[in-house]
Amino acid sequence: MLTLLPQAIIDGLLLGGIYLTVSIGFSLAYGVLHIIDFAVGEWIMLGAFLGLYLTAWTGWDAMFFLPAVFVVFAVVGWFTQPLIQRVTSGAKGRPVLMALVFTFGLALTFRGTAQTVFGIFTHSLPTELAAGSWYWELGPFMMTVPLVRLAGLIYALAITVGLTYLLKRTDLGLAIRAVAQHKDAAGLMGVNIQRTNAVVYSLYVGISAMTGVFIGAIISLNSGMGPDLSLFAFFVVVLAGMGYLPGVPWASFLLGLIQSFFLIFFNPSWTLLAVFTVLFLILLVSPTGLFRRGV
């Protein structure tokens, strides 16, 4: 069994890359807009289907359409955010709850529409990367790295670095951090709060939709995939600390390693039990997440 340990670690890190891309935008949206968006899985699902139909229409590799998927859904997110803002602004002291209810309804609407339009069948996004893997041996250990999963990990790290640069090194990032820390004070300093909120939600929706293309190529896609992805995104963000963006990579890779170890060394049916037991125990000790920095 020990010969499988390096492969379990590699699989866990690659799986953690998927969870990182699912969760990073979700965490950013919560940190700035203070909304829990339960439609995150449906944004991912819709992005995957857009990638599928663009690929079927043109015959090109699915990875080619990542920028197009981002742009389309960033525009959709730009026009969706004012609707959420309208709902939360009239919530009479319960904006987080009203945002949760609204996005839950949005998720149900998207899922039902997708099942009607796309059906319930499972698809896979075609990409040349899916056909390749790296193999190497180190003594008694044999390790395999599928290229499409490696590309997903590289994509996750690139998104993380890009968002970090945006937040730390640009004027827009300064405005985003100001709104996240104190919205009223940011407004008094001249920050356009409405536009900043719309930009953040656009980034979140666009990144989530792009992630759907990778998930469709790495695993599969169907119209009912959203709830599980929303659940794992919520797990990662809570474990990292609600709104604490630097904790998201650590929580994502921890989740990936837990799943990988249970899939390889234990009963796979216990995976969800193990994942949420770990979450429960950590929150008992630190209710604000792994680094005690969350809301």
> pLDDT, tens digit, for every residue of 100-149?
888 889 999 999 999 999 888 888 888 888 777 777 776 666 778 888 88
- 261 torsion bin: left (phi>0), alpha (psi -120 to 50), beta (else): alpha
Specify if 260 maps to a domain: yes
pTM value?
0.90
pLDDT confidence of residue 45: 94
- The rounded distance, in Å, linking the Cα atoms of 210 and 59 is 18
Describe the chain by its helix, strand, coil percentages, rounded to 5.
75, 5, 20
Task: Please indicate, yes or no, if residue 186 is contained in any of the structural domains.
Answer: yes
Per-residue pLDDT tens over the stretch 240-275 = 888 788 889 999 998 888 888 888 777 777 777 888
Of 294, 239, 236, nearest to 15 (Cα)?
A: 236
Give the domain range for residue 58.
2-285
Name the DSSP letter for residue 91.
S
In a domain, 291, yes or no: no
* DSSP per-residue letters across 241-267: -TT-TTHHHHHHHHHHHHHHHHHHHS-
In a domain, 118, yes or no: yes
pLDDT at 39 over 70: yes
The reply to whether 278 falls in a domain is yes
Tokens of 209: 């939709």
Q: How many domains does the chain have?
A: 1
Confidence of residue 87 (pLDDT cuts 50, 70, 90): confident
Per residue in 187-218, pLDDT tens? Answer: 878 888 889 999 999 999 999 999 999 899 88
Domain membership flag for residue 85: yes
The single-letter DSSP state of residue 4 is G
> Residue 251 contacts by C-beta under 8 Å, 6 or more apart in sequence?
23, 235, 236, 237, 239, 240, 289, 290
In a domain, 110, yes or no: yes
Model confidence at 233: pLDDT above 60: yes
**Looking at the domain assignment, is residue 89 inside a domain?**
yes
